[in-house]
Amino acid sequence: MNTLTLQITGMTCDHCARSAQDALNALPGVRAEVSFAEGRAQVETDGKVETARLLDAVAAKGYRATFLLKDDEAVTGGDGGGLHVAIVGTGSGAFAAAIKAAEQGARVTIIEGGEVIGGTCVNIGCVPSKILIRGAHIAHLQGHHNVAGVPLNTPELDRKTMVAQQQSWVDKLRYAKYESILESNPDINLVRGMARFKDAGTLIVTNTEGSEKEINADRILLAVGARPAIPAIEGLSNTPYWTSTEALVAETVPQHLIVLGASVVALELAQAFRHLGAQVTLVARSTLLSKEDPAIGEGLTAALEGEGIKVMLHTSPDAVSHDGQQFTLHTNNGQVVGDRLLVATGRAPNTAALDLDKVGVKTDKRGGILVDDHMRTNVENIYAAGDCTNQPQFVYVAAAAGTRAAVNMTGGKKAIDLSVMPAVVFTDPQVGTVGLTEAQAEQRGIAVDSRTLDLENVPRALANLDTRGFIKLVAEKDSGRIVGCQVLAHEGGEIIQTAALAIRNRMTVQDLADQLFPYLTMVEGLKLCAQTFTKDVKQLSCCAG
């Protein structure tokens, strides 16, 4: 028999305790005694009932139950005390799940196979890249603004000092958002080593010295993230190419950087290094951001070319060579020669080492774990979240998925809704998208109408002396309900969330047009774009309602 202790809150009398006790004893293989005075339940089970069902039984009576754990409990589950959740990975999705699961009363073991915790975002992704982009943008503005009376200046860059400041912030944020949580939360236990499945309830963790430990758990969450995907190009593996990881900490600026790729990472880093003074050639197999509205790629191509970046569209690399100093990229459109090569052609899930085939967890052709909207895999007690799944690879999606996975692993039922998911590309101008494009709406059989507002019609863009880009709204033809928005604009990332809220709240273009927006803001462009469905905004006075 397994002996468990539950703490129960919400009871107001002995009758409440008897009600909770009856609910627990109604479960097969369970014998429970509930004390109102102590606010606790002593529960014995035959080991066959899922521990989450105990929490559900109490919750069904209107009370909240959490497991009380023993101070000297081992890592393994079984005869332990409460629900044991094992999480593989320590990124944003993993930590969101760990925190929530602990709040729900579970005991959490979180497993990390690398040298540092925190995953991609804080270490080699969002945080360092945005610091790099910010510094590069400031450097670029000094020599390329068009404000009269302010002299242009080409700054002398100290890239080594920039990297030092950047990595200092990485260290600070990793401690604040990850390491300090482990220090302050005794219900989350870190185990270091590479994890793989022995069976559906058991993980084998191998540390750097080769020793192994088995971890048994009631629930297992896979949140192992992704790594740069390296294309099979002849000769590439024999060259010292960069991925985003190396590029972010490079202490010198290349003379000529060749960038393979046409999506988020490629575009952000290509422009950042151009802003730092490098000559840049961007090589794209198709068009830029080919999954988005074609106008986005066209507008961004024009903006990047306007800054001196050579953009080679519909260009396929056939081979790569390196002579010790220079890379030579052979393509269907000729050769490209540069002193650095950045490969940014997507990311691949870190699932190969997990031995998923041993437990039958299904994956897609990329190796991404297939999950439903509750983060459940096809194996009952195994969940997954973040970049290692078939869900969109955004840190905020991973965190939301991790939280919901924890709720579901501890007896709840909470889905993730990705129907209104804003996304941003941090180029300048920025790309912001949410909802459906015209093409996507038509594929779903939705008749739509759309309007595109050039930024020369947005007063703040005029005041910024930067009218590159546009704002586009897509709406149902009959109802006028907004179903999508695409933005290419300076601070486009600050605009798109307003559009997301409008879509989430089923607003029509008229509803949006009637809202009050502060004058001389970029987000006012949404109101102006909505107004173009019924009038010519060029004929309106400034800040016209």
Within this chain, do residues 309 and 263 fall inside the same structural domain, yes or no? yes
Mean pLDDT of the chain: 93
> Mean per-residue pLDDT for 168-183?
95
pLDDT recorded at residue 220: 98
The pLDDT score that the predictor gives to residue 9 is 78
> Which range marks the domain in which residue 19 is found?
2-67
Q: What pLDDT score does 5 carry?
A: 87
Cross-strand pairs, 35: 40
Of 62-76, 208-222, 287-301, 438-452, the poorest mean pLDDT is in 62-76
pLDDT tens digits, residue range 429-484? 999 999 999 999 999 999 999 999 999 999 999 999 999 999 999 999 999 999 99
Question: Which distant-in-sequence residues (6+ apart) come within 8 Å of 150 by Cβ?
Answer: none
Q: How confident is the model at residue 46 (pLDDT cuts 50, 70, 90)?
A: confident
Rounded Cα distance between 230 and 243, Å, is 9
Which CATH number fits the domain that encloses residue 433? 3.30.390.30
Residues 414 and 439 in one domain: no
281-340 residue pLDDT tens: 999 999 999 999 999 999 999 999 999 999 999 999 999 999 999 999 999 999 999 999
* Predicted local distance difference test score (pLDDT) of residue 70: 40
Within this chain, do residues 218 and 350 fall inside the same structural domain, yes or no? yes
Active site includes 11?
yes
Last residue of a domain, one of 344, 377, 396: 344
Same-domain check for residues 321 and 269: yes
Structure tokens at 10: 């919400």
The length of the chain, given as a count of residues = 545
Which candidate in 1, 126, 241, 396 is catalytic? 126
Residue 103 shares a structural domain with residue 222:
yes
CATH number for 20: 3.30.70.100
Percent of the chain topping pLDDT 90: 86
Q: Which amino acid is at 117?
A: I
Both tokens of 19, joined, read 């009600």
Q: How many domains does the chain have?
A: 4
CATH number of the structural domain spanning residue 217: 3.50.50.60
- Position 545 scores a pLDDT of 63
- Token pair belonging to 357: 């085939």
The neighbouring-strand residues paired with 107 are 84
Average pLDDT of the residues in 33-60:
83
- For residue 16, indicate whether it is catalytic: yes
> Is 388 in the active site?
no
413/338 Cα distance (integer angstroms)? 53
| 327/313 Cα distance (integer angstroms) | 20
Q: For residues 168 and 96, what is the distance between their CA atoms, to the nearest angstrom?
A: 24
Strand stretches in 235-339, DSSP E: 256-260, 279-283, 310-312, 317-322, 327-331, 334-338
pTM of this prediction?
0.84
| Tens-digit pLDDT profile for residues 389-443 | 999 999 999 999 999 999 999 999 999 999 999 999 999 999 999 999 999 999 9
Residue 62 has pLDDT above 90, yes or no: no
Q: Indicate if 529 belongs to the active site.
A: no
Query: 11, 485, 507, 522: which one is catalytic?
Result: 11
Question: For residue 481, what pLDDT is reported?
Answer: 98
Indicate if 543 belongs to the active site.
yes
Question: Same domain for 128 and 213?
Answer: yes
Residue 108 lies in a domain: yes
| Of 159 and 3, more confident | 159
pLDDT of residue 78: 32
**Residue 337 vs residues 70, 256, 304, 328: alpha-carbon distances, Å:** 63, 8, 19, 5
State yes or no: pLDDT of 17 exceeds 70. Answer: yes
The confidence band for 69, taking pLDDT boundaries of 50, 70 and 90, is: very low
Q: State residue 57's pLDDT score.
A: 87
Tell me how far apart the alpha carbons of residues 426 and 424 are, in angstroms, rounded to a whole number.
Answer: 6
Whether residue 544 lies inside any domain: the answer is: no
- Check whether 542 has a pLDDT greater than 70: no
Annotated active-site residue in 1, 16, 388, 396: 16
Tell me what pLDDT residue 544 has. Answer: 58
Last residue of a domain, one of 344, 374, 407: 344
Say if residues 495 and 432 touch (Cβ distance below 8 Å): yes
Q: Is residue 396 part of a domain?
A: yes
Clarify whether 13 is annotated catalytic.
yes
pLDDT for residue 6 = 85
Among candidate residues 418, 445, 476, the one where a domain is terminated: 418
| Long-range contact pairs involving 55-59 (C-beta distance under 8 Å, separation at least 24) | 55/6, 55/83, 55/104, 55/105, 55/410, 55/411, 56/411, 57/20, 57/23, 57/24, 57/26, 57/27, 58/6, 58/8, 58/20, 58/23, 58/24, 59/411
Write down the catalytic residue from 1, 13, 194, 375: 13
Helix axes 395-409, 92-103, angle to 10 degrees: 30
Indicate which residue of 162, 383, 421, 543 is catalytic: 543
Q: Residue 281: its pLDDT value, please?
A: 98
In the residue annotation, 485 being an active-site residue is answered as: no
Cα–Cα distance, 413 to 104 (Å, whole number): 13
Q: Give the residues across from 30 on adjacent strands.
A: 45
pLDDT of residue 65: 80
